């Protein structure tokens, strides 16, 4: 039966090729690229399954209860999220390079390199999936005393940005408080939506009692253990 099916399929494909070569080629290319895309998607899903499976262990409890191991704090991870930032996804840094193209840059994702430094997680924000992240490892934190106060003025509300929540993002060669970061940060921590057309102002007091005011088209970059105020493009994105 399988032989008949194979021969019949081959004959139909050959007839299709003879009657409409251009459409046949388009269908074959479409089938090829769909197969490649599904293959990479399956690789990512299998990686997530294997990661979850490898984190299961038989604990020393009655009846051999299966429990989950604590997270491997030594492993670097890639964290990314698409607007409106309701969910976050991760990739193992070890497998990031061959699977980076699976991140859809047309959706303008926010991207972080997550690494364990000095007994806590640190996050380096970047905006290009082709970037060689190895040059930034190990991550070099900036002093957590760099800022004394950060407030976001949005619509008729004032939001106090907890310094303890900002501390993990104070990393050299990284940047924060750009438009994308603000949208993600407020949604992730306060469940507050900031739309593209919303205007807001960020007021900062640094450790030298300097008063700083940022618009949605400005952001903070960290270089050489210090911060720099930079301008973003017309859409509020990092160039």
Question: Domain ranges in the chain?
Answer: 2-54, 77-231
Spatial distance between the Cα atoms of 176 and 204, rounded to a whole number of angstroms:
13
Sign of CA dihedral 167, 55, 132, 128: negative
Instruction: List the chain pLDDT tens, one digit each, 239 residues.
Output: 557 546 655 555 567 567 766 776 666 656 654 554 555 556 555 655 555 544 444 444 444 444 444 555 578 999 999 999 988 999 999 888 888 888 998 888 999 999 999 889 999 999 999 889 999 999 999 999 999 999 999 999 999 999 999 999 999 999 999 999 999 999 999 999 999 999 999 999 999 999 999 999 999 999 999 999 999 875 556 65
User: What is the spatial distance between Cα 181 and Cα 89, in angstroms, rounded to a whole number?
Assistant: 16
CA distance 146 to 180: 22
Three-state SS for the chain is CHHHHHHHHHHHHHHHHHHCHHHHHHHHHHHHHHHHHHHHHHHHHHHHHHHHHHCEEECCCHHHCEEECCCCCCCCEEEEECCCCCCCEEEEHHHHHHHHHHCCHHHCCEEEEEEEECCEEEEEEECCCCCCHHHHCCCCECCCCCEEEEEEEECCEEEECCHHHHHHHCECCCEECCHHHHHHHHHHHHCCCCCCCCCEEEEEEECCCCEEEECCCEEEEEECCEEEEEECCCCCCCC
**How many Cβ atoms sit within 10 Å of the Cβ of residue 79?**
17
The whole-model pTM stands at 0.68
Contact in structure between 179 and 232 (CB atoms under 8 Å)? yes
Q: Measured in Å, how far apart are the chain's first and last C-alpha atoms? A: 60
Q: What is the pLDDT of residues 142-158, one digit of tens each?
A: 999 999 999 999 999 99
């Amino acid at each position: 039966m399988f032989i008949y099916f194979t021969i019949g399929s081959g004959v139909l494909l050959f007839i299709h090729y003879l009657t409409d070569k251009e459409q046949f080629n388009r269908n074959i290319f479409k089938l090829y690229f769909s197969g490649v895309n599904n293959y990479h998607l399956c690789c990512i899903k299998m990686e997530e399954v294997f990661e979850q499976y490898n984190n299961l262990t038989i604990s020393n409890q009655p009846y051999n209860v299966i429990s989950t191991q604590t997270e491997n704090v030594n492993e670097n991870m890639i964290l990314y999220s698409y607007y409106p930032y309701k969910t976050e996804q991760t990739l193992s840094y070890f497998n990031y390079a061959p699977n980076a193209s699976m991140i859809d840059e047309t959706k303008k994702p926010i991207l972080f390199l997550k690494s364990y430094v000095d007994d806590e997680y640190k996050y380096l924000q970047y905006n290009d999936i082709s970037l060689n992240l190895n040059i930034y490892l190990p991550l070099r934190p900036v002093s957590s005393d760099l800022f004394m106060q950060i407030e976001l003025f949005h619509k008729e509300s004032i939001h106090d940005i907890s310094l303890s929540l900002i501390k993990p993002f104070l990393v050299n060669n990284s940047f924060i408080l750009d438009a994308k970061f603000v949208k993600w940060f407020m949604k992730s921590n306060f469940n507050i939506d900031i739309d593209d057309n919303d205007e807001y102002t960020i007021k900062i007091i640094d450790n030298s009692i300097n008063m700083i005011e940022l618009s949605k088209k400005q952001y903070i970059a960290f270089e050489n253990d210090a911060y720099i105020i930079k301008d973003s493009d017309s859409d509020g994105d990092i160039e």
